[in-house]
Amino acid sequence: MPKLHMPSDLERLSESLSDARDPNRPCITVCGGTGCRVYGSEDVLEAFRLELERQKLDSTVDLMPTGCHGFCEQGPVVAIWPQGIFYPRVRTDDVGEIISETVVGGKIVDRLVYVDPGSRQRIAYEKDIPFYQKQKRVLLDQNGYIDPSKIEDYIALDGYKALSKALHQISPEQVIEEITRSDLRGRGGAGFLTGVKWGLCRKAPGDVKYIICNADEGDPGAYMDRSIMEGNPHRVLEGMIIGAYAIGAHKGFVYIRNEYPLAVKHLRTAITQAEEYGLLGENILDSGFDFTVEIRLGSGAFVCGEETALMASIEDRIGEPRPRPPYPTESGLWGKPTNINNVETWANVPLIVGRGADWFLQLGTEQSGGTKIFSVVGNVNNTGLVEVPIGTPLGDIVFDIGGGIPKGKNFKAAQLGGPSGGCIPREHLNVPIDYTTLQELGAIMGSGGMVICDDDTCMVELARFFLNFVQEESCGKCVPCRVGTKIMLEVVTRITQGQGQEGDVEYLIELGEEIKRSSLCGLGQTAPNPVLSTIRYFRDEYEAHIRDKRCPAGVCQDLVYSPCQNECPAGQNVPAYVSLIGEGRFEEALEVILDRNPFPSVCGRVCDHPCEAKCRRSQIDDPVATRALKRFAADYMAAEGIPSAIYDRLRVETDGQKPKVAIVGSGPAGLSCAYFLARLGYQPTVFEKLPVAGGMLAVGIPEYRLPKDVLKREIEFIEKMGVEIRTEVSIGEDVTIPELYQQGYEAIFIGVGAHHGRKLNIPGETLDGVVDAVDFLRVVALSGHRMWVGRRVAVLGGGNAAIDAARTALRLGADEVTIVYRRTKNEMPAQRSEIEDAVAEGVKLELLATPAQAISQNGGIKGLECLRMCLGEFDRSGRRRPEPVEDSRFRLDVDMVISAIGQTPDTTSLLSSLELNRDGTIKVDKDGRTSVPYIFAGGDAVTGPATVIWAIAAGERAAVAIDQYLSKDDNRVYPWRETRPPDTPFDPEAEPAPYGRLETTKLASDERRCSFAEVEAVCIREAAVQEALRCLRCDYREEQATEVPTETGVPALAEA
Amino acid sequence: MGPNGEFRVSDIEEIINNHRENGRNGSLMAVLEEIQAQYRYLPRDAMILVSERLGVPLSQTYSVATFYNAFSLKPKGKHIINVCLGTACHVRGSHRVLEHIEKKLHIKPGETSKDREFTLETVNCLGACALGPVVVVDGVYSGQMNPTKADALLEEIPSNVGER
């Protein structure tokens, strides 16, 4: 290989190499990054080589192993050029087909094409994939086009030209000036201005100076430096040589983790090649400038990422930091002026010198130029390396590029900057990510690790994880870090084990601030950040652990009986009833359900089953069908006849001398409250305004989901427990609350629901033909499905009420029903399965649209004018806010509009002294106590429209609060609150049941749309038993033989 | 290395000499790294020898050997199982995988099984975050682990290694 002497030599070489690369020549690139290698990319590469040889195409088709493409989740990643066709997850078996179909035939192999997890769209070309589309890849771009083990590939793409320019056209001072002007900040974490640092080092007195490339990428969850070194090592070297020239150093070190063997290998190769071409060594490109680079391996100490510790390590000492000043730029390695930058910073240098500071500046924000690479990992669909201009909003990274959260879960927070950083919760998805904004929010840019957390991440546990990390990695030299982090870890661990005490949070804040102030180096000064930041945004989670002994995310083992039980608002002992069903012990299963829930048949049909969302079985295939199992147990026992012994066993007290309690409203909240009171020996009286009991269960949820006789059966069961229900008694008209109190009802529970539809606030909403969904569904239910319905109906809203109204309208004979919703399907609050069922029945979805005006005709309406919406910035709920598109009016020809945009409780007839929330709901504490001592409340009247299971939970909690109030005893034990492990046998060593989730049978959609017959059928006995055996028994503990009942906390009621 | 894996003075001297050729300012860590790679631990006498030959106080050699995670003073098992506990792996449930392996092998992280077959280790991040949870057995990465897959992985170990 000829040494390059003059800049013109490089120019000529680059030209000839570039010319040799025919852009139209077919080329197959196979990603060879660590991620893709784990998935077998080396085998795939070899298979391509053999197949090309076999088909005698090896002389006409290029095959190139490249560096990391960043889309690691999809490995092994293969791209076919010149078309730019992208195939993810390629296996060796696919190779033959790719060559014959795509490379030779020019056709796309459909089955191998990438499917976008969000839109389910099939996308064939790399440039069209949302993950790449919204990125700005200037540092990572070449990773996909060059073989990192060939310097020629880099030179062909103008590599080392910036170096040549620096050496021959500009002075060292000018290089520093350009870097300073570009505002390039250190990408390793601290964000110090690179140009300023270089300037200091250049000016520092001394003949011998060093530069160091910090490649000790230790932040767990960050791997961009690894990818740059693996995929484009020459760019790092070129940056270092330019930097050395500017600073006046002749010796550089790359301090690299030994956990990155591939990066070490590529870097070694690159150094050798650069030396051979005369780009490293003596008299580089005939400029008279000498520079050599040496690799030093880190030996697994996180603290060595700190610059003074790193230098100690290069000097063969233990990696303990020392106080600064003096800064390394004055006195660094072996006491000489030393400039340290991290890998990504060095990689930026050739770009800035080559293309100019102005080009770089226009990439970022006003405060900071350029791009930043983030490793977006954790609970996100598109895991991988993402390069975006500094200042890109967090939400764009998580949702547009990252593809959102898998399995339909919610984004909870992004943890940035690893153990030194902090988290950003969903309220701040709009925040532009740059150095200053992140600092304001209590996080840091750090090296760019971005760990996405969903609902299943416990923030206290995450803080414990980071503390444990820094505690282990603390070098031990200074006391605040060594001892302080240990104490913090002890406190946080205690909290996660349910041993937290009042005052712990305040203590953690005080201690954390002290450690930050007094630690010697960056490790200690930032170590408390993950704790302080999670306290800042998720203090309620700490408090749930400390006060309620409850882990809301269902993670902390000592506080969680099982994830499903933990998630159920009513605390249903899911593993117990599921495993009893698996044993064929259906009566006992039903009793377990009834212990916490008087509505097994109802919940077995309409519950939104939050338990299933937490089921660990979904890590293997799909969650256990707990709702279907609950329904099976309820229906099976109803057919058998519920034995009276069950009543006796459920009754806690039989004393009939209890005070009188009145329940206002017979919905699930009221009836649950009554049921639990009855079990405690009370004989509550329920007052219902309507002629039927059941509240929304009777007049809200349509019959095809919940047949009337099923509901009746369940209400009869509650009555038999000792509850009296008086229908057609209207509170406020027939009797007032104070009157009830005077009649001797010593406590009153209000569960009047939320039956009052929200106003649309559009012209024409009072016209005939515009109705409210709640009113509509109530009239349909009470009239026995005799109700006028339009031929063409628009239903406004995206919740369960909207879906219920739409499917009901269809069943009443409407020709066409369209749901108009202002966001997209993903944001619809209705249950997924309900939406799918509605669509299957023929309901149309008009998404991203909002009503503007109902158009009148002969007293009725003839149409609905709508506006097209688009999704704008993120709102505080973490969803994108819909915004109207200008001049986008369009009309739906409809003769009926059903509005289902939300409901509020009607509290006008209640007590005027009762304190309300701003939205009109009743203000209560977590157990349902209102501002009036004898009045309690729960259900939709408190929370606004919510689900049945939340209402049941609220009823139970209020029943306990009422009993405590009336008995004036706060220490009573409520036996159903003890979650007992079942006595069913379980073999923890056995393999999980090897079959998939139970599919329930549904009526055919064309049959459904013309009748109110129940859509879903109950499963047969054998299927139920089989399904139950799929449970992984997360409740199982080895010490279970001792049968200690677990006292589990109850979740706090959802905020209204 | 001797026939039974015991350390030989000549081997250590060779390592030291190799590093002296291109070594400039001391190469203690590089020498220790190579000994560690060859023997999977730092034999006591080897450390003494290194100190003498390099002219480094034994106290410094010892402090370096005990400071960095990459060095071990105890012999490790034939097979090294490394569970990544980096953040990305952690939020995807690596602790459950680790617990499972602990139970299966009856050893805790940092320990070696009685038969000297397995050493269980944890690492704070391998930079293979997209594949989490990651388990590395004798240098071979396996991604998206769960307890069930970990079982299969452990069962494959003897053949897995035999091929390499």
pLDDT at A1038 over 90: no
Same domain, A715 and A808: no
Residue A418 has its nearest CB partner, among B56, B87, B128, at: B87
Instruction: For residue A785, count CB atoms less than 10 angstroms from its CB and return exposed for 0-12, middle for 13-18, buried for 19 or more.
Output: middle
Give a yes or no: residue A81 inside a domain. Answer: yes
**CATH no. for residue A307?**
3.40.50.11540
How confident is residue B22, by pLDDT bands cut at 50, 70 and 90? low
Give a yes or no: residue A674 inside a domain. Answer: yes
pLDDT at B23 over 70: no
Same domain, A715 and A797: no
Which residue, A79, A107, A140, sits at the end of a domain? A140
Please spell the DSSP secondary structure of A610-666, one letter per residue. Answer: HHHHH-GGGGTSS---HHHHHHHHHHHHHHH---HHHHHHH-S-----PPEEEEE--
Answer positive or negative: Cα dihedral of A273, A276, A280, A286.
negative
Same domain, A232 and A200: yes
> A488-492, A623-627, A851-855, A870-874: lowest mean pLDDT where?
A870-874
- With an 8 Å Cβ cutoff, are B87 and A317 in contact? no
**CATH no. for residue A578?**
1.10.1060
Residue A300 has its nearest CB partner, among B69, B85, B130, at: B69
Mean pLDDT along residues A1008-1017: 92
Distances A867 to A148, A579, A821, A887 between C-alpha atoms, Å: 52, 52, 11, 8
Answer positive or negative: Cα dihedral of A992, A993, A999, A1000.
negative
Contacts with A216 (C-beta within 8 Å, 6 or more apart), sequence order:
A255, A256, A257, A298, A304, A305, A310
How confident is residue B162, by pLDDT bands cut at 50, 70 and 90? very low
Contacts with A78 (C-beta within 8 Å, 6 or more apart), sequence order:
A28, A29, A30, A31, A44, A86, A87, A88, A90, A98
The alpha carbon of residue A839 and the mean position of all alpha carbons in its chain are separated, in whole angstroms, by: 27
**Helix, strand, coil % (nearest 5) of chain A?**
40, 15, 40
Q: What is the ipTM of this complex?
A: 0.86
Q: How far apart are the first and last CA of chain B?
A: 19
For domain B79-162, the CATH architecture is: 3-Layer(aba) Sandwich (3.40)
Same domain, A375 and A493: yes
Same domain, A745 and A888: no
A68 close to B (CB below 8 A):
no
Same domain, A227 and A324: yes
Give a yes or no: residue A124 inside a domain. Answer: yes
Give a yes or no: residue A825 inside a domain. Answer: yes
Cβ atoms A110, A123 nearer than 8 A: no
**CATH no. for residue A446?**
1.20.1440.230
Question: Distance between CA atoms of A70 and A189, rounded to whole angstroms?
Answer: 21
β partners of residue A87: A78
Which residue, A954, A973, A992, sits at the end of a domain? A973
Domain assignment of residue A675, given as a range: 657-755+905-973
Give a yes or no: residue A897 inside a domain. Answer: yes
Question: Distance between CA atoms of A303 and A320, rounded to whole angstroms?
Answer: 7
Residue A217 has its nearest CB partner, among B30, B123, B127, at: B127
The alpha carbon of residue A1009 and the mean position of all alpha carbons in its chain are separated, in whole angstroms, by: 36
pLDDT at A601 over 60: yes
Contacts with A947 (C-beta within 8 Å, 6 or more apart), sequence order:
A607, A608
pLDDT at A149 over 80: yes
Give me A337's structure tokens: 């002026």
CB pairs under 8 A between A and B: 136
Give me A1023's structure tokens: 């299927």
A 973-1032 → B contacts, CB under 8 A: 991-992
Average pLDDT, chain A: 92
Q: Which pLDDT score is estimated for A1053?
A: 47
Same domain, A751 and A767: no
Residue A302 has its nearest CB partner, among B64, B92, B124, at: B124
pLDDT at B25 over 70: no
Contacts with A933 (C-beta within 8 Å, 6 or more apart), sequence order:
A965
Chain B: residue nearest A376 by CA?
A: B130
Q: How far is A637 from chain B (nearest CA, A)?
A: 36
Same domain, A503 and A461: yes
pLDDT digits (tens, 9 = 90+) for A182-218: 999 999 878 899 999 999 999 999 999 999 999 998 8
Residue A73 has its nearest CB partner, among B85, B130, B142, at: B130
Q: Which pLDDT score is estimated for A1049?
A: 47
**CATH no. for residue A35?**
3.40.30.10
pLDDT at A1055 over 80: no
The phi-psi region of residue A89 (left if phi > 0; otherwise alpha if psi is between -120 and 50; otherwise beta) is: left
DSSP conformation class of A929: B
The alpha carbon of residue A951 and the mean position of all alpha carbons in its chain are separated, in whole angstroms, by: 26
Q: How far is A791 from chain B (nearest CA, A)?
A: 50
Q: Which residues of A touch B63 (CB under 8 A)?
A: 318
pLDDT digits (tens, 9 = 90+) for A961-995: 999 999 999 889 999 999 989 999 998 778 889 99
Cβ atoms A211, A331 nearer than 8 A: no
Question: Distance between CA atoms of A750 and A732, rounded to whole angstroms?
Answer: 13
Q: Which pLDDT score is estimated for A1056?
A: 36
Count up the domains in chain A and report the number: 6
Give a yes or no: residue A1 inside a domain. Answer: no
Which residue, A928, A948, A973, sits at the end of a domain? A973
Same domain, A109 and A187: no
The domain segmentation of chain B, as residue ranges, is: 9-67, 79-162
Residue for token digits 């990695």? A473
Query: Which of B36, B50, B60, B90 to probe by mutation at the A interface, max A CB count within 10 Å?
Result: B90
Count, in order, helices (H) and strands (E) of chain A.
41, 33
Q: Which residues of B touch A299 (CB under 8 A)?
A: 29, 32-33, 68-71
Same domain, A473 and A576: no
CB atoms within 10 A of CB A331: 17
A465 close to B (CB below 8 A):
yes
- Backbone torsions φ then ψ of A417, nearest 5 degrees: 80, 10
For residue A209, give the nearest of A305, A99, A338, A316 by alpha carbon: A338
Q: Which pLDDT score is estimated for A1043?
A: 43
- With an 8 Å Cβ cutoff, are B126 and A377 in contact? no
Q: Which pLDDT score is estimated for B125?
A: 83
Same domain, A706 and A845: no
Same domain, A207 and A349: yes
How confident is residue A1042, by pLDDT bands cut at 50, 70 and 90? very low
